[in-house]
């Protein structure tokens, strides 16, 4: 749907039509998702005939139904959630969104269990019986990722002293204050950086059991295990660690014309440097990975046309 202006009332968006303007629904301002969406909007606006704008919303459970219905055009989310939304599973249990498509595969995220630097905990199994947030009331996606990570090590939340938090930021806050023994987070998040400055923190690597990765993927389709190496901007990563990994994605509704999606994806593929100047998440991103075969979610036909043009997808 082509959009002209955006009037916000809380998380709701009202719009009127104007040619060649499209909205990317994303997380609130200040979040990594918003920074990524803003970089995409700026780059695509500079290199296509269309204007794109990043629109902060209350999160994927609000914005993906809007994309599905045609109220919103694009959205930033992740490969796992694309599968959930397509199939009506996970945080979209019983609510499939058949008009959601993947436009582009974006940078990789890696997440895991964070503990205080002075903790005696060295692995997830050392956490058994300890205090761990097990329910994320406002971020069901985090809860599912944590469940999948535990499954890779042959564990589930029954092994811990449970608690409920609204989101990962609150979990990290409780870890910093000593009220829980671990939190599930990303090494690039501002909250982890603040916790490290306050008390010192480090991540635990995953030690998968036999068949553990497959069990993880049953809960979180599109996820995989990969090594995270210490490096600039990564907090609490003192040595190479095996981490829960997944790609961020640009999603789009089937109502968006093929030529619009084709040109947006082409702009991202050809302008990695500009994307990295706007968002640090794109600094290590290889445009050759903008397409990755997947079974649990479908690509937009406009994106598929570009992948064929670029030689990324063979007939």
Please write the tens of the pLDDT for every residue from 57-87: 877 888 999 999 999 999 999 999 999 999 9
Per the CB < 8 A criterion, the answer to whether 252 and 68 are in contact is no
pLDDT in tens, 99-143: 999 999 999 999 999 999 999 999 999 999 999 999 998 888 999
Q: How far is CA 102 from CA 32, 139, 297, in A?
A: 19, 22, 7
Residue 188's pLDDT is: 85
Region of poorest pLDDT, from 20-34, 135-149, 163-177, 255-269: 20-34
**What residues contact residue 12 under an 8 Å CB cut-off, 6+ apart?**
none
Cα(211)–Cα(150) distance, integer angstroms: 13
Per the CB < 8 A criterion, the answer to whether 36 and 248 are in contact is yes
Residue 228's pLDDT is: 95
Q: Provide the 3-class DSSP secondary structure of residue 156.
A: coil
Residue 13's pLDDT is: 41
pTM over cut 0.75: yes
HSE-up of 168 (CA within 13 Å, CB side)? Answer: 24
Residue 1's pLDDT is: 53
pLDDT over threshold 90, residue 294: no
Residue 160: both structure tokens together: 């811990």
Kindly calculate the radius of gyration of the chain based on its CA atoms and give it in whole angstroms: 19
Residue 4's pLDDT is: 40
**Residue in the structure block whose two tokens are 């095996």:** 242
Residue 121: both structure tokens together: 């905990």
Compute the mean pLDDT over every residue in the chain, rounded to the nearest whole number. Answer: 91
In the 3-class helix/strand/coil scheme, how is 15-46 assigned residue by residue? CCCCCCEEEEEECCCCCHHHHHHHHHHHHHHH
Q: How far is CA 100 from CA 22, 154, 174, 215, 303, in A?
A: 16, 33, 36, 26, 13
Helices (H), the chain: 32-47, 60-69, 79-87, 140-152, 168-176, 190-198, 212-219, 258-270, 272-278, 301-309
pLDDT in tens, 153-204: 999 999 999 999 998 999 999 999 999 999 999 998 889 999 999 999 999 9
Residue 37's pLDDT is: 96
DSSP state of 208: P
Cα(185)–Cα(195) distance, integer angstroms: 11
Q: Could you tell me which residues are beta bridge partners of residue 248?
A: 78
Residue 123: both structure tokens together: 């692995």
Q: How many C-beta atoms surround the C-beta of residue 250 within 10 A?
A: 27
15 — pLDDT class (breaks 50, 70, 90): very low
Q: What are phi and psi of 89, to 5 degrees?
A: -125, -175
Residue 14's pLDDT is: 40
């Amino acid at each position: 749907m082509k959009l002209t202006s955006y009037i916000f009332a809380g998380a709701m968006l009202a719009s009127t039509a104007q040619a060649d303007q499209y909205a990317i629904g994303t997380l609130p301002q200040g979040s990594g998702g918003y920074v990524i969406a803003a970089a995409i909007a700026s780059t695509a606006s500079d290199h296509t005939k269309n204007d794109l704008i990043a629109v902060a919303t209350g999160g994927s459970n609000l914005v993906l139904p809007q994309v599905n219905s045609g109220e919103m055009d694009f959205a930033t989310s992740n490969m796992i959630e694309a599968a959930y939304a397509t199939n009506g599973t996970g945080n979209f249990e019983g609510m499939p969104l058949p008009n959601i498509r993947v436009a582009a595969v974006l940078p990789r995220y890696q997440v895991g269990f964070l503990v205080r630097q002075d903790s005696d905990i060295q692995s997830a199994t050392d956490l058994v019986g300890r205090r761990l947030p097990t329910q994320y009331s406002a971020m069901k996606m985090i809860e599912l990722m944590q469940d999948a990570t535990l499954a890779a090590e042959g564990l589930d939340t029954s092994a811990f002293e449970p608690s409920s938090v609204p989101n990962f930021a609150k979990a990290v806050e409780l870890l910093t204050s000593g009220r829980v023994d671990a939190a599930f987070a990303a090494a690039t998040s501002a909250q982890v950086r603040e916790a490290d400055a306050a008390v010192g923190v480090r991540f635990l690597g995953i030690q998968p059991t036999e068949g553990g990765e497959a069990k993880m993927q049953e809960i979180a389709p599109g996820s995989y295990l990969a090594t995270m190496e210490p490096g600039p901007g990564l907090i609490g990563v003192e040595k190479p660690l095996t981490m829960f990994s997944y790609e961020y994605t640009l999603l789009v509704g089937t109502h968006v014309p093929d030529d619009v999606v084709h040109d947006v994806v082409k702009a991202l593929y050809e302008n990695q440097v500009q994307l990295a100047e706007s968002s640090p998440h794109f600094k290590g991103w290889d445009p050759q990975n903008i397409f990755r075969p997947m079974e649990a979610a479908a690509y937009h036909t406009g994106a598929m046309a570009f992948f064929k043009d670029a030689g990324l997808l063979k007939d």
